[in-house]
A and B are shown apart, each in its own frame.
Chain A
């Protein structure tokens, strides 16, 4: 066997596997998105088997976009959730990375404590937060508000100040089970899990910052803020962009958290909506799936450009 064909052979399994993995399911989704295909139909049993004679053209896409009431809400909600998570993780990540980028006792332990949330499995993350921390009655959220109200109440009998505290309204804990608030709950738990990732990347990058440049800036009398603005931030531009891209890709397909936190309360994103459609209307599920692919690709193109550039050097 010649050298060249051997090299091809070594690469082949990985490429063929990934090619099949990408083409077959995606091809089927594309096909299903153009036909009428439902799992159960007493009226039109012919729709329950996929076949070309049930061709619907762009009908599924139209149905999803204009007739199903949840699609635009799901798109909006997907973008909202991803956007909030990105802002939180990047800002917190920057602040924390700057904070721990210094010598102090126990730095190693601090790093270990900080990175831990990233390795918690998503299902546990969601169950832990929604039940034990954010629950308005039994979670720490409920307990904290309750004990705060109790404290205020016990102050009612205080002379003079008591009249002031008796006018204090009784607080109600926020419930994270409604449509809107459960989106916040998802944002909180995912941001908790992914801030460590941002911190880790920013820290790695901070360590390669040009120290001489910084010393020169200090000699020139630059203050801390302008050092950060003019030296550190440009240096971190690429890591920030990468954190944003990678997180967008992961969070656009967020599923476990939504499923656990929001099942049945109306808070849904695109993957969750696809899951709902899949229980019967496969055509609509596939059309929604294609939309999700398009949305992810818009983000992916930017990422590939960035990574592609770094691959050159």
Chain B
């Protein structure tokens, strides 16, 4: 590991202190959001209560009354978890074939899958609205949001699984085949237990992306399937009167995901760079 070790006394103090300052600066907006969420709406805009104030939980207690938070949170949870599950169900067999039985076309298929991710969502906004509203009648349903979230994350899921599977020695699977395992047995009994860690981090990352998605979840929902992104987007301009309650609902919306994110930093690099950076 190429980690710098400081030799001079100045460097030993200065650089770590600078690193801490930078880290705290980057974290400050999140801290400020959490901090403000404990102020009342009235206190949150008064300069005299900027740092010293009487903390209150009322913003969190009233979150359901103010914003109907739990309904949106439940929608986010349902859509993100089902989309992740489906993406894994479709992605695992595909990545398995690509990693262990590649053909000449496998590389092209992988690159093509990646290219679907590069399609700007806005370009197909109207067709999607048109299809789902007038034609299929699934506009603003959980089903639609699950389907879309699954599709936009499928390329990343397959790529991540592919890079994990590729690291498993082929011989282990072949040994299983010798013992008479069929393809299904191979996936279930040999591959999945071996790739458990990779599978979990793929799922975690996919879930995070689904939860944070802010284009389709906003444009393809109105009320029934509206997620937290839609909720926050709908309260974009509180005119300064509701900083307290807005901070509370924002904290509740991002808190779980930020904590989940801490656990998959490494996977993020692999997942988002498609294994090109190691």
Contact = CB atoms under 8 A, between A and B. Distances in A.
Contact of B243 (A29, A131, A274, A299): A131
Nearest to A202: B277
Contacts of A15: 94, 109
A209 to B, nearest CB: 4
A121 B253 contact: yes
Contacts of B91: 14
B56 interface: no
B127 A292 contact: no
A32 B130 CA distance: 11
B131 to A, nearest CB: 7
Contacts of A52: none
Given A7-B101, A127-B250, A255 B122 contact: yes
A29 B123 contact: yes
B94 A131 contact: no
A293 B119 contact: yes
B97 A10 contact: yes
The B interface is mostly helix, strand or loop, or mixed, namely helix
A238 B44 CA distance: 46
Interface in B72-131: 90-91, 93-94, 96-98, 101, 107, 109-111, 113-131
Nearest to B121: A253
Nearest to B158: A14
A100 B96 CA distance: 37
Given A99-B18, A304-B114, A28 B122 contact: no
Contacts, number: 310
B276 interface: yes
Interface stretch (B24-32, B62-70, B168-176, B194-202): B24-32
B118 A112 contact: no
Contacts of A286: 126
B162 to A, nearest CB: 9
B5 A102 contact: yes
Given A17-B154, A122-B229, A246-B272, A115 B262 contact: yes
B259 to A, nearest CB: 9
A132 B33 contact: yes
A116 B247 contact: no
Given A101-B3, A242-B277, A131 B258 contact: no
A15 B1 CA distance: 39
A233 interface: no
Interface stretch (A80-88, A153-161, A193-201): A193-201
Interface in B213-265: 214-215, 218-219, 228-229, 232-233, 235-238, 240, 243, 246-247, 250, 253-254, 257-258, 260-262, 265
Given A114-B27, A119-B208, A274 B111 contact: no
Interface string A273-290: 011001000100110011
Contact of A256 (B218, B250, B262): B218
Contacts of A137: 240
B138 interface: no
B3 A253 contact: no
Interface in A80-126: 96, 99-107, 109-124, 126
B125 to A, nearest CB: 6
A252 B120 contact: yes
Contacts of A209: 2
A290 B94 contact: no
Interface in A254-270: 255-256, 259-260, 263, 270
A252 B258 CA distance: 24
A308 B2 contact: no
A50 B142 CA distance: 28
Q: Which of A114, A123, A271 gathers the greatest number of chain B CB atoms within 10 Å? A: A123
A152 interface: no
Task: State the 5 A-B residue pairs at the shortest beta-carbon distance, nearest first.
Answer: A289-B123, A119-B261, A271-B122, A104-B16, A25-B124
Interface of B: 1-6, 15-16, 18-20, 22-24, 26-27, 29-30, 32-33, 36, 45, 47, 50, 90-91, 93-94, 96-98, 101, 107, 109-111, 113-131, 151, 154-155, 158, 183, 208, 211-212, 214-215, 218-219, 228-229, 232-233, 235-238, 240, 243, 246-247, 250, 253-254, 257-258, 260-262, 265-266, 268-269, 272-278
14 contacts: A3-B183, A6-B183, A25-B124, A28-B124, A101-B2, A102-B19, A111-B23, A119-B261, A121-B228, A131-B246, A132-B33, A133-B32, A255-B122, A271-B215
Interface of A: 3, 6-7, 10-11, 13-15, 17-18, 21-22, 24-26, 28-29, 32, 96, 99-107, 109-124, 126-133, 135, 137-138, 140, 143, 146-147, 192, 195-197, 200-201, 204-211, 214, 238-239, 242, 246, 249, 252-253, 255-256, 259-260, 263, 270-272, 274-275, 278, 282, 285-286, 289-290, 292-293, 295-297, 299-300, 303-304, 306-308, 310-312
Given A104-B19, A122-B229, A239-B277, 12 more contacts: A10-B96, A14-B113, A28-B131, A32-B127, A117-B29, A119-B258, A128-B247, A138-B45, A197-B272, A200-B265, A255-B214, A270-B120
